[in-house]
């Protein structure tokens, strides 16, 4: 009968029975789920409905979900809540979490934080990660219960352990709340740095003493979980990269395609080798993203590849990154100080790696700066001379004025207009005054 169901299902999904489907043969939940996953929503809705009326909690959950999303039926939050209530009562944790969220937000039901809390708690007790996640949010925000950040932290941490810590921590929907538990999220990065880089930045620990303490207090727990995940990740990544490189062929083929303008052919070859740490491939990928050659133009991606290539020893890549910084094409470096500082640092790194254009640039820059300094010195000397000449002219004018005053007073003496003249000298110059 089950094989017959599959055959009939295939017929229906290929369009033979899309009008008035017959339900008498739909014996299993798996058949209905198969139809739903194939996006045959009207067919799957009818099948789930028959199963739901027979108290199949899984089918009831699907009906609630489909009413909520409008899949194969007109959307109705109230009808969604009705079927989710039935499924939750039969112990379906997916239904409990979805219904709990609806109670929390007042979607199709009267808003009730208490109902939401109880439903999330029931699901959490069965190790349902979404239930535990929402329960943690309620503890953290003080919804229905008193705020309890420690309990929230513990629940979030359990979510990560269920999901395979810490691979899914990078998911923003969860990470954002976990960060609030751990001094701005530093715990996550702290653990990652400790286990992948063998250390951590001083600035990192300085801003996150709380993160370090949390890590130290639970070190072995985090280390064990992380190492298991990271070991698998490294093996999987290595196998994928090796497979991609083998499939791509020689990197020279990608470079040749790039120079011939065949960017669509060049990109997958260069990408495979770039992911394997090939600095020249990384540099060419940076150029493709910088200029939008065969890919969507993206300064951020271009800079990432330039920096990776530079760290792997490409002076050319650092040279290109320097140009990006100088030309306002590095995000978060809009201030001139940051922009010129980053550009200059990259240019020096390029020159240290022996890239001749960078060496030439720095030599020309040095010569230009020296010429500017010499010109500034000459200008200062010129201004000093002009100032001295101006002062000399001022002294000469003053002496002429004083001599004229002296001559006028002597005329007054000769004409008898000045009685009891008094003669004296100032700085060697003769003066006279009258009573």
Q: What is the mean pLDDT of residues 216-241?
A: 64
Instruction: Report the alpha-carbon distance of residue 304 to residue 329 in Å, rounded.
Output: 12
CA angle 391, 397, 403 (to 5 degrees): 135
**How much is the pTM?**
0.40
Residue 156 pLDDT class (50, 70, 90 cuts): confident
Summarised one tens digit per residue, pLDDT across range 4-52 is 344 344 434 334 333 333 333 445 888 888 778 777 888 888 888 999 9
Q: Please give the pLDDT value at position 228.
A: 65
Q: Is pLDDT larger for residue 337 or for residue 9? A: 337
Q: Is pLDDT larger for residue 87 or for residue 15? A: 87
Instruction: Please give the helix or strand (H or E) that residue 36 lies within, else none.
Output: helix 29-37
Q: Note the residue count of the chain.
A: 435
Q: Please give the pLDDT value at position 434.
A: 67
Tell whether the model's pLDDT for residue 316 goes beyond 90: yes
Q: Please give the pLDDT value at position 11.
A: 35
Handedness of CA 72, 76, 80, 83 (dihedral sign): negative
Residue 159 pLDDT class (50, 70, 90 cuts): low
What secondary structure letter does DSSP report for 425? E
Summarised one tens digit per residue, pLDDT across range 271-314 is 888 888 899 999 999 999 999 888 888 888 898 999 999 999 99
Q: Is pLDDT larger for residue 170 or for residue 72? A: 72
* Cβ atoms < 10 Å from Cβ of 306: 29
Q: Please give the pLDDT value at position 357.
A: 92
Tell whether the model's pLDDT for residue 428 goes beyond 90: no
Show the beta-strand stretches assigned E in 329-428: 422-426
Among 75-84, 248-257, 389-398, where is mean pLDDT lowest?
389-398
Most confident listed range (157-166, 169-178, 230-239): 230-239
Among 30-44, 108-122, 179-193, where is mean pLDDT lowest?
179-193
Summarised one tens digit per residue, pLDDT across range 367-402 is 888 877 887 888 788 788 877 766 665 767 777 777
Q: What is the mean pLDDT of residues 115-136?
A: 89
Q: What is the mean pLDDT of residues 141-162?
A: 75
Q: What is the mean pLDDT of residues 205-232?
A: 57
Mean model confidence pLDDT for the chain: 75
Residue 352 pLDDT class (50, 70, 90 cuts): very high
Instruction: Please give the helix or strand (H or E) that residue 430 lies within, else none.
Output: strand 429-433
Cα separations (Å) of 173 from 87, 156, 361, 374? Answer: 26, 12, 46, 59
Q: What is the DSSP string of 134-176?
A: HHHHHHHHTSSS---HHHHHHHHHHHHHHHTTTGGGG-HHHHH
Q: Is pLDDT larger for residue 246 or for residue 72? A: 72
What secondary structure letter does DSSP report for 295? S
201: CB partners within 8 A, 6+ apart? 193
Q: Please give the pLDDT value at position 249.
A: 78
Q: Please give the pLDDT value at position 281.
A: 92
Q: Radius of gyration over alpha carbons of the chain, in Å?
A: 40
Among 126-135, 160-169, 278-287, where is mean pLDDT lowest?
160-169
Q: Please give the pLDDT value at position 81.
A: 94
Q: Are 64 and 99 in contact (CB under 8 A)?
A: yes
Q: What is the fold of 2-211? A: 1.25.40
User: What whole-number percentage of the chain has pLDDT above 90?
Assistant: 26
Tell whether the model's pLDDT for residue 243 goes beyond 90: no
Looking at domain 249-354, its CATH class is mainly alpha
């Amino acid at each position: 009968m089950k094989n017959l169901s599959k055959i009939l299902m295939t017929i229906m999904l290929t369009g033979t029975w899309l009008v008035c489907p017959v339900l008498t043969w739909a014996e299993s939940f798996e058949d209905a789920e198969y139809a739903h996953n194939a996006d045959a929503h009207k067919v799957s809705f009818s099948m789930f409905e028959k199963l739901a009326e027979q108290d199949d909690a899984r089918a009831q959950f699907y009906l609630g979900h489909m009413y909520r999303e409008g899949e194969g039926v007109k959307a109705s939050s109230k009808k969604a809540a009705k079927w989710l209530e039935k499924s939750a009562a039969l112990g379906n944790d997916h239904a409990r979490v979805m219904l709990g969220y609806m109670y929390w937000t007042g979607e199709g039901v009267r808003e009730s934080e208490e109902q939401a809390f109880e439903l999330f708690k029931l699901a959490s007790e069965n190790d349902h990660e979404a239930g535990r996640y929402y329960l943690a949010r309620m503890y953290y925000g003080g919804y229905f219960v008193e705020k309890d950040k420690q309990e929230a932290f513990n629940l979030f941490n359990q979510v990560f352990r269920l999901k395979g810590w810490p691979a899914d921590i990078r998911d923003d929907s969860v990470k954002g709340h976990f960060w609030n538990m751990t001094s701005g999220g530093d715990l996550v990065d702290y653990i990652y740095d400790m286990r992948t880089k063998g250390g951590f930045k001083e600035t990192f620990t300085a801003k996150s003493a709380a993160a370090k303490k949390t890590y130290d207090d639970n070190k072995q727990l985090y280390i064990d979980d992380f190492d298991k995940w990271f070991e698998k990740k490294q093996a999987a990544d290595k196998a994928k990269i090796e497979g991609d490189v083998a499939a791509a062929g020689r990197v020279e083929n990608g470079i040749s395609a790039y120079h011939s303008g065949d960017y669509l052919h060049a990109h997958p070859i260069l990408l495979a080798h770039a992911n394997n740490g090939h600095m020249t491939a990384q540099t060419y990928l940076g150029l493709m993203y910088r200029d939008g050659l065969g890919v969507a133009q993206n300064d951020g991606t271009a800079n990432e590849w330039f920096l990776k290539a530079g760290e792997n020893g490409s002076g050319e890549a650092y040279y290109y990154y320097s140009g990006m910084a100088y030309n306002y094409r590095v995000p978060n470096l809009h201030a001139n100080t940051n922009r010129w500082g980053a550009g200059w640092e990259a240019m020096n790194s390029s020159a240290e790696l022996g890239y001749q254009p960078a060496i030439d640039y720095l030599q020309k820059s040095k010569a230009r700066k020296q010429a500017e300094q010499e010109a500034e010195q000459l200008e200062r000397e010129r201004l000093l001379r002009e100032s001295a000449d101006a002062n000399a002219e001022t002294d000469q004018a003053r002496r002429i004025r004083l001599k004229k005053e002296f001559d006028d007073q002597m005329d007054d003496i000769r004409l008898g207009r000045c009685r009891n003249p008094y003669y004296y000298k100032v700085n060697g110059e003769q003066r006279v005054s009258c009573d």
